[in-house]
Structures are given as structure tokens and as C-alpha cells.
Amino acid sequence: MTGNPQRKYRADYQPPAWLIDDVELDFDIGSAQTHVRATHSVRRNPEGPAAEDWRLDGRDMTLVSVAIDGRRLGESEYTCGDSALVLHGPPEAFTLTVETRIDPEHNLSLEGLYRSGDILCTQCEATGFSRITYFPDRPDVMSRYVTRITADAQAHPVLLSNGDCVETGSAGAGRHYAVFEDPFVKPCYLFALVAGDLGVLRDSHTTPSGRTIDLRLYTEHGNEDQCAHAMASLKQAMVWDEATYGLEYDLDSYAIVAVGSFNMGAMENKSLNVFNTACIFAAPETATDDDFALVRDVVAHEYFHNYTGNRVTCRDWFQLSLKEGLTVHREHQFAIDQGSPGVTRIEQVRAIREVQFPEDAGPRAHPVRPESYVEMNNFYTITVYHKGAELIRMMEAMAGRDAFIAGVRHYLAKHDGQAVTIEDFVVAIEESTGLDLAQFRRWYAQAGTPRVGVQTDYREGALALTLTQSTPATPGQPDKAAFDIPVSVALFDEAGRMVREPEVLRLDTAQAEWCFDGLAGEPTVSALRGFTAPVRLDHAPDDAALARLMAHDSDPVCRWDAAQSLFLKTLVAGVAARSGGEALPEPSERLFEAIAHLLSNPPADRALLAAMLTLPSVARIGEEFDAIDIHAVCAARDHLKQAIATRFLEEFEALRADHAALQAYVFDVEEAGRRRVFRLALDYLAAVDAPGLRECALELSRTADNMTDRMAALEALRDLPGEARDTALAEFAERWADYPLVMDKWLRLQAGTRRADSVEQVTALLDDARFDFTNPNRVRALLGGFARGNPAGFHRADSGGYTLIADQVVRLDALNPQLAAALAGLLTPWRRHAEPEASAMRAALARVGEGVHSDNTREIVEAGLAE
């Protein structure tokens, strides 16, 4: 590795020296290059530092000219380098004109202006705008934008930018133009431009105050039939935000453009969201229930950003969770209100436990509000997003929902049109709700997952409950102060009746005790109900108590968690035995009894039944160990699955047969729950290669009227011997060859195979015509699908899995550093693994370090190798 990338520190914040009130952009889109003429009205910031020079960010473009008040600057008046244009001693107030040339055709980074298929589009968060023109690329410079686009009328009949279209016309020689005005001030990361030949789905929404909003969803022609669900979701989100937060959309039109090449899920540009097609397309034939839910939630998320993110934005990128934590929380509330609240919450908890906790325990652990970074793109993390959302959720729990919503409204009113900090948000919530969040603020500053211990002492009708907390050291933070942790607790008796209503205990010291008296017998403690705080709970009820909670707890999260704990006991014992070279133990009768009871008394929500019967994932089991013996984890999990499948073969057969009588596909809670149970049954039956399963799954893969069931069939077949598997996969590939997102499922299926030659299969697919290394969705499906979804293959004993990923990261780094860095991150948690995997993984990471050049990937590698 070479060079010395600049690290930025939160503590170094300085306001901008100059402000830009108005931005006028003129894009002249040619067949190869695009010419950008930017005219800014600039004035010195009265609150800014007294700088002589003004630095504008910019990279990967050609400066054509720069002028102040119409006079072209001579060479001594500015310096233009690799990453900046510096104006020497500009006046106090002036008009700046900058002309640049950019090359979208060769921009594979997918930042700035680039081409996705036949669509030209932009991505400016976090710092893509400085690939379009020289500009102070920081969110605290907020301006009003007018954008003029000129392009070939045939190649680019649709021209779009933020705000309202105020003028269109012919530009001669087969070209046309359009002018857009966005009346709201915004930071440049919310700028967007789209030009292409697009199909459109139109609809409208009328707000409670009687305004009619024109809604448009653009895609490449031929995909319009995939967009109805996204459009319906947008309307649902608008109605929800009006009803819940009293927030109405603030412009006359709202457009979404779906593009096939996108680094993330979607982007909330003002009035012109740009989406990954994976977060828009959803038809029963091509998308699963999970895809339908994803589309609904991402569409809502981006819409919610219009207030939490756009109307009030971030002062600097250290404040990212200000908009993302709050918006993910709003998305989570919305998702829970759409039905199946228990299982929706369980999914949210799983993301925290299985992805965020490991991040918080690894070399890249960082506070929700980070202190420093090299490359901002590396900080769009599950910690900033989802742990950030859990912090907001805790505030809501402390304030109560209505008071919390009033607090958010106060925050939005107080800071409308401003770029602010997390501290500003917390202050606004305190002002409005009267809460004292002094200690609570530590959640934003300290990284790491607190461990909360639960000890009980029952004597003569009284239960003494002791809670303790401690938080492990994280990089740069050896000692942690106590957090303010809300722990919801309820008590149940022997018969499973609730004897103490849920109560939120505030643990704000290292240790505290609570007493519950007047009890008729020793109670069972149900703790952290609904997952009231993002902590690890050290609570070890015995098997009988777990079975009781599993059967009777009124909180679905605790019910599910009790089942997980019961499974985990067997699994942890199995891993220990396997690591020690002993035979895998058989599960206890108590476990079988609990499952039998669940199967004969299933919860009304079918999806909850499926969640409760799903074994903890490999990632979750790994969380129980300091040094993960990954192959022992896989073996123990397989063994338990087979034991359960063998014992309950008839029951799973019945659940499978049940499904045959289903109606045509609809995406709703009830039907999706049924399909989830069906998929679970197939999974257990496949674990023992049950008689008739292969034929049934092959048949289903051909005849299912929906992708959810078809995928369930293919997943069941994937690791089984025999011809059915190959036939089903081949037929699938042929039938869906023209649907790239479906082919991603095909890639992912193969990447996740348990067969011994998975590394070779993935390697071969890299050269398959259906794979495309320049498209992030393909890369995520194949390489992400392998490294995340195939622990046995990724950690293969010969290191073939690590080498494969390391080599592809190096290759990708030259094209798309943001994506390369994300993939490299999968090699960083090597310290969590047992030997020999730990050393081999580390060696692969070091190998990445030798081959990559981007700041993005280098930052990840350096963190991963740091002592």
C-alpha cells in the first residue's frame, strides 16, 4: 500500500468559509462526454473562518475554465490539483462560473454522473457531487438549485432533475432541453439528474390538506409491470407519514427512477429518488415475499427522508445517524404498522444481533456518531443505521409514542432548512419531552455492545432481581462509562400466567437491584421484552423456564428468543463436543417436547411459528463463542436440524401438504406467513432427504405461481444429490434469463451450495455470461452470496474461499472502490475465528492490502490488520 490518505476528525469541524446561495447548473450531455457549466452566487460566511483561499472539492474531471464575475481567471489566481480547485483570495461576494468536462461513459465507480444501461444518472451522497463540478462538497453548504439539461431527444427523451420542471424546448440538431427549479435549499449530496429513454408508471396522491401530488415511477421500457407494488408502497408511506407524524409532502411531484447499476439500495434526492431496481421491482412471478417487504420498506424509507434528512439535514458526515438512524426508525415503525408486528420486530432484532453486534465487537467497531474516518463511504454501516435506529427507539420508549412524535415535530420545525447535529436533535427531544438525556448521550459516543447480566434470588414470596452492565473495550476506547439502559421485565408463574405486568427498569449504573414481592412461588423472568435496548443479555433460565416462556410469553420477541436459547444450549454443547473430537450429542427430550407443544399449539401468526422453529443462524451461534470453530458450528447445526426433522417427519410432511391447497398469490401477512411455514417444512425435509421430497420440489419449481415457493423448492434441492437439483437450476436459468434480478437469485443459490466444490463453482460463474463484474447486484449475489451465505465454503480448510474473495476484491478495487471495500470487510473479523481459519483469513486480508489502491479498501484493510 502506498500514499497517505487524510483522516478527518469530528472535533476538527469548522464552518465553511464561503457560502453558495444559488447554484445554476447547465448540463450539455454529448454522446461521449458531458459538459457542465456551473454558476454560483457566493458570499463569505460571516460565521466562517477568516481564510484567504477558498478550496472547492473536485476529482476525476477536466477543468475547462473558471471565472469570477464574468472574468476568466489567470493561472496565478487559482490552483487545480487532483482533488481540489483552490481560488486564491476571492472577493467577499461574487459570481463564480466553473466549466468542467466529465466522462460518464467510463465511470464505473457509480458515483457522480454515470451510465446504467441506457440511463444516465447521478449518485452524489456522500461526495459524488465533486465528480460533477468543483464545489464545497459538504452538507452544511445549502443552496437553491436551477438545473438545465440539454441532450439528444432520441437517446434521452426523458430529462429529470430536482424540483419542478419550469421550461422545456428544442435545442436544434435533434436535441432538446429542460429546466428544473428546486425551491428548497439543499446540500449538494441531494442533487440528482437523470436522462434516458424511460417508461413511466403514473399515479397521484391527495394530501389531507387537499393538494394533489403527481407520482411517477420511471424504469427502462418493458418493466412497468414490475412497478405497481412500489407505487402502492409509496402511497402507503405518504398516508402513514401524514397520519402518524402529520407530515405532508412539500412539492407538486415526486419521481422515482429505478436503475440496474447502483451501489446501495436507494437514494433520497429531493423529489427525484434514484433506486436500485432490486428495491423497486416486485411481481409475484419474479419476487419473493421478502423482496415485496424490502421494496415496501425502502420506498418508505426514502420517502421519509424528505423530512428527516432533506428538510433538516446533517451538518457534517459524522452526523450521518441523525438522518439515517431516525429514518430507519421511522421505517421500522411503518413496517410494524403494516402487520405481523412480532415477526417484523424479530427481524429487526436479528439484524442487530447477527450483523451489528459482530461489527461492534470487531476491528471496525465505531460509535453511532464516529470520531474519525478516511473514506466516508465506509461508514454507511449497520451501526450508524440500525444501532442508530435502536437509540431513537429507546428515546421513544422513554418518552412514550405521542410525546416522542411531538418531539420529532419540534425538531423539524426548529431546524427546518438547516444542517444540524445529533446533539441538536437530542436537545430538541429534551426540550419537547422534558426527558433528561444527559447520560443517554453516551450511546452516541461509546462503541461496543453492553453486556447486561440478570441474576435472581427468590426467597419467601420475594424476588430480588440484580442487573449488571459492562461494555468491552473497542478500538480507541479502552474504558467505558455506564450506559442508561432500559430493560423491560415481566414475571410469569409456573402455569405460564403473567404475575407482574411489563415494567421498564432503568439500569444506569454498573449494578442495580429491584425487588418484586407478594409472589406465590418462584417466577420466570421475561427480560428485555421487545428488545428494549441493543445489549447482550446474560440470562440463563433453565430449560423448563425457557419452555414456559416459549409457550406462554405474550411478547413474541421473548417467545422466539426462548426458543432460540433452547436451541442454542444444544448447539453450544454440540460445538464443544465437535471441537473436542467427540460425537455430537443428541438433543434433550425437553427440547423435543417444547417443539411438539409448539406444533400442536401454534401461534395465530404463522410467520411467528416459522421464526420460532428456525434454528439460530451460523452467525448467531458464533456469537456464543470467543473463538468460533466454524466447521463445528455448521456440523452441530446440521445435526440438530436432522434430529428435529427425523423426530417430526410426519408433522413437517403435513405442513408441506397443507400448502398444496393454496389460492393464487397475494402478498399479505396471512399468506406470506403460510408460505414461510411451508418453506421451513421443505427445509427440514431436505435436511434428511425425505422420501419424495426431491420430486415434489422439482415439480414445485416448475409449477409454482410465485417466486417465494419456487425459491423454497430450489433452496431445498440445492444441496441434495441426484439429477433433480441440476434440472431445476438449469430450467430456472433458462426461464428467467431475461430477468437480471432473478438471475441474481440463481447466482446466490449456487454461491451458497454446501457441496465441497463451491469455490470452484463460484470461480466458474465469474466467467459466466450471466455474471457481470461491473454490476454491484451481480457481485453482491455471487461473491457476497458466497462469503456471507456459505460459511462452510468461505472458510474451507484449504483457504480457497478466502483466496477467491481476496483476489476479487483486488480486481474490483480498480473499478468500484466502494463495493470492493464492502467486500473486503468480510475478511476483517478474522480474530473472531479459531485456528487455523483465523491466520488464513488474516493472510488473505494482508494479500488484499498489497493489491489495492483506493482509500476505501485501504482503510478497511488497515483497520482489519491493526494490532
Q: Of residues 264, 546, 762, 840, which one binds ligand PHE by CB under 6 A?
A: 264
42 in Cβ contact with 94 (< 8 Å): yes
Query: Could you tell me which stretch among 46-54, 73-81, 326-334, 758-766 binds Zn ion (CB under 5 A)?
Result: 326-334
Closest approach, Cβ 121 to ligand PHE, in A, equals 12
Query: Could you tell me which stretch among 123-131, 195-203, 566-574, 702-710 binds ligand PHE (CB under 6 A)?
Result: 123-131
Phi-psi region of 342 (alpha: psi -120 to 50; beta: other; left: phi over 0): alpha
Q: Of residues 268, 354, 715, 744, which one binds ligand PHE by CB under 6 A?
A: 268
Closest approach, Cβ 369 to Zn ion, in A, equals 16
Q: Scanning residues 375 to 404, which ones bind ligand PHE (CB under 6 A)? A: 380
Closest approach, Cβ 324 to Zn ion, in A, equals 5
**CB nearer to ligand PHE: pick between 259 and 535:** 259
* Among 712, 676, 678, 680, residue whose Cα is nearest residue 697: 712
DSSP 3-state percent helix, strand, coil across the chain (nearest 5): 45, 25, 30
Measure the N-to-C terminal CA separation of the chain; round to a whole number of Å: 17
Q: Which residue has the cell 418508505?
A: 300
Query: Could you tell me which stretch among 264-272, 621-629, 790-798, 800-808 binds ligand PHE (CB under 6 A)?
Result: 264-272
**CB nearer to ligand PHE: pick between 124 and 711:** 124
Other C-beta atoms within 10 Å of 457: how many? 11
678 in Cβ contact with 712 (< 8 Å): yes
Q: What is the β-pairing status of strands 524-527 and 198-206?
A: unpaired
**CB nearer to ligand PHE: pick between 380 and 592:** 380
Query: Could you tell me which stretch among 24-32, 260-268, 402-410, 718-726 binds ligand PHE (CB under 6 A)?
Result: 260-268
The interface partner of residue 555, options being ligand PHE, Zn ion, none and the CB cut-off 5 to 8 Å by kind, is: none
Residue 62-101 contact track with ligand PHE, rule CB under 6 A, x = bound: ----------------------------------------
Return the HEC string of 133-185: CCECCCCCCEEEEEEEEEEECCCCCEEEECCEEEEEEEEECCEEEEEEEEEEE
Closest approach, Cβ 408 to ligand PHE, in A, equals 18
**CB nearer to ligand PHE: pick between 377 and 750:** 377
DSSP 213: E
Closest approach, Cβ 380 to ligand PHE, in A, equals 5
593 in Cβ contact with 550 (< 8 Å): no
* Closest CB to ligand PHE: residue number: 264
**CB nearer to ligand PHE: pick between 306 and 524:** 306
* Among 531, 521, 530, 484, residue whose Cα is nearest residue 500: 521
Q: Scanning residues 700 to 759, which ones bind Zn ion (CB under 5 A)? A: none
* Among 54, 60, 100, 62, residue whose Cα is nearest residue 78: 54
**CB nearer to ligand PHE: pick between 388 and 793:** 388
DSSP 733: H
Q: Scanning residues 294 to 353, which ones bind ligand PHE (CB under 6 A)? A: 301
**CB nearer to Zn ion: pick between 265 and 602:** 265
Residue 203-242 contact track with Zn ion, rule CB under 5 A, x = bound: ----------------------------------------
Query: Could you tell me which stretch among 173-181, 318-326, 376-384, 828-836 binds Zn ion (CB under 5 A)?
Result: 318-326
**CB nearer to ligand PHE: pick between 125 and 715:** 125
154 in Cβ contact with 195 (< 8 Å): no
**CB nearer to Zn ion: pick between 308 and 775:** 308
Closest approach, Cβ 637 to ligand PHE, in A, equals 33
**Would you state the cell numbers that stand for residue 259, as one nine-digit string?**
436503475
**Would you state the cell numbers that stand for residue 254, as one nine-digit string?**
415526486
**Any idea how long the chain is?**
867
**CB nearer to Zn ion: pick between 131 and 323:** 323
Catalytic residue among 99, 111, 268, 302: 302
| Backbone phi and psi for residue 691, each to the nearest 5 degrees, phi listed first | -55, 135
**Would you state the cell numbers that stand for residue 535, as one nine-digit string?**
445489549
Query: Could you tell me which stretch among 7-15, 262-270, 497-505, 620-628 binds ligand PHE (CB under 6 A)?
Result: 262-270
Closest approach, Cβ 313 to Zn ion, in A, equals 12
Q: Scanning residues 327 to 346, which ones bind Zn ion (CB under 5 A)? A: 327
**CB nearer to Zn ion: pick between 327 and 488:** 327
The interface partner of residue 123, options being Zn ion, ligand PHE, none and the CB cut-off 5 to 8 Å by kind, is: ligand PHE
**Would you state the cell numbers that stand for residue 506, as one nine-digit string?**
432503568
**Would you state the cell numbers that stand for residue 544, as one nine-digit string?**
423448563
> Diameter of the chain by CA atoms?
93
544 in Cβ contact with 524 (< 8 Å): no
Q: Of residues 123, 340, 469, 526, which one binds ligand PHE by CB under 6 A?
A: 123
Closest approach, Cβ 461 to ligand PHE, in A, equals 52
The interface partner of residue 125, options being ligand PHE, Zn ion, none and the CB cut-off 5 to 8 Å by kind, is: ligand PHE
Closest approach, Cβ 330 to Zn ion, in A, equals 10
The interface partner of residue 380, options being Zn ion, ligand PHE, none and the CB cut-off 5 to 8 Å by kind, is: ligand PHE
Q: How many Å apart are CA 265 and CA 305, to the nearest integer? A: 14
Q: Kindly write down the DSSP assignment for every residue of 735-796, as one continuous string.
A: HTTT-HHHHHHHHHHHHT--STTHHHHHHHHHTSTT--TT-HHHHIIIIIHHHHH-HHHHT-
The interface partner of residue 514, options being Zn ion, ligand PHE, none and the CB cut-off 5 to 8 Å by kind, is: none
* Among 230, 235, 142, residue whose Cα is nearest residue 185: 142
Q: How many Å apart are CA 642 and CA 647, to the nearest integer? A: 9
- 255 by DSSP, 3-state: which? strand
Other C-beta atoms within 10 Å of 582: how many? 10
- Should residue 267 be labelled a site residue for ligand PHE when binding is judged by CB under 6 A? yes
Q: Which residues of 616-647 are buried (b: 16+ CB within 10 A; e: fewer)?
A: bbbbbbbbebeebbbbbbbbbbbbbbebbbee
Closest approach, Cβ 269 to ligand PHE, in A, equals 9
Q: Which amino acid is at 56?
A: L
Our answer to whether residue 302 is catalytic in this structure is: yes
* Among 112, 105, 113, residue whose Cα is nearest residue 32: 105
In angstroms, the Cα distances linking 288 to 70, 147, 712, 724, 779 are 57, 39, 10, 22, 20
Closest approach, Cβ 96 to ligand PHE, in A, equals 27
Closest approach, Cβ 268 to ligand PHE, in A, equals 6
**CB nearer to ligand PHE: pick between 142 and 749:** 142
Query: Could you tell me which stretch among 134-142, 316-324, 500-508, 589-597 binds Zn ion (CB under 5 A)?
Result: 316-324
Residues marked active site are found at 302
Contacts with ligand PHE, residue ranges (CB under 6 A):
123, 125-126, 264, 267-268, 301, 380
Contacts with Zn ion, residue ranges (CB under 5 A):
324, 327
